[in-house]
Amino acid sequence: MRITGFLVIAAIVLSGSCAKAQIEKGGVNKMKLSSPDFEHNAVMPAKFTCQGEDINPALIIDELPAGARSLALIVDDPDAPMGTWVHWVVYNIPLISRIEENSIPGTQGSNDFGRKDYGGPCPPSGTHRYFFKMYALDTELNLPEGISKKGLERAMQGHILDQAELIGLYKKH
């Protein structure tokens, strides 16, 4: 009887580690990311772009995983002519359910505009996709302000409990 109890506990402990690894390898995500300002895969209002106020939209985060200690957010455009263009890098965001528009929810990294803030969509031509990627982490990150997207991604390895994505579209008028 004791051995069976031990095996059940070991299976629970191991399944927790496997679930974490599964999320990092594209497993099932429960966390959700949305915005009251635009629908997933829909056009973003100009207000949030270089043709408007160039401020971040509000984001709503639902179903944070148990054990999460902080959030990280990367906003990028994979359709940029010279490769993926980074618009916003933010980490050590507290466990909140909403990021307000025109706010700084955590420590900011550097974007490809050479700034440490939100740089809104500003495609040179055509319609581009803007990926808002939210990560729930099992730790706070000890990183300097202004870290790059790649640096943040390296630091998050092994710490991602869940992630969610929202895609906005934009074409200059």
Kindly state the tokens that stand for 39. 């629908």
- Residue 157 contacts residue 21 (beta carbons within 8 Å): no
- Residue 95 contacts residue 68 (beta carbons within 8 Å): yes
Q: What is the pLDDT of residues 91-109, one digit of tens each?
A: 999 999 999 999 999 999 9
Question: To the nearest whole number, what is the mean pLDDT of the chain?
Answer: 88
Distances (CA, A) of 13 to 89, 103, 167: 33, 38, 35
- Decide which of 160 and 10 is more confident: 160
How much of the chain exceeds pLDDT 90, in percent?
Answer: 83
For tokens 């270089």, the residue is: 50
Kindly state the tokens that stand for 15. 């399944």
C-alpha 61/C-alpha 67 separation (Å) is 16
What is the mean pLDDT of the segment spanning 150-166? 98
pLDDT at residue number 160? 98
SS3 116: coil
C-alpha 28/C-alpha 5 separation (Å) is 28
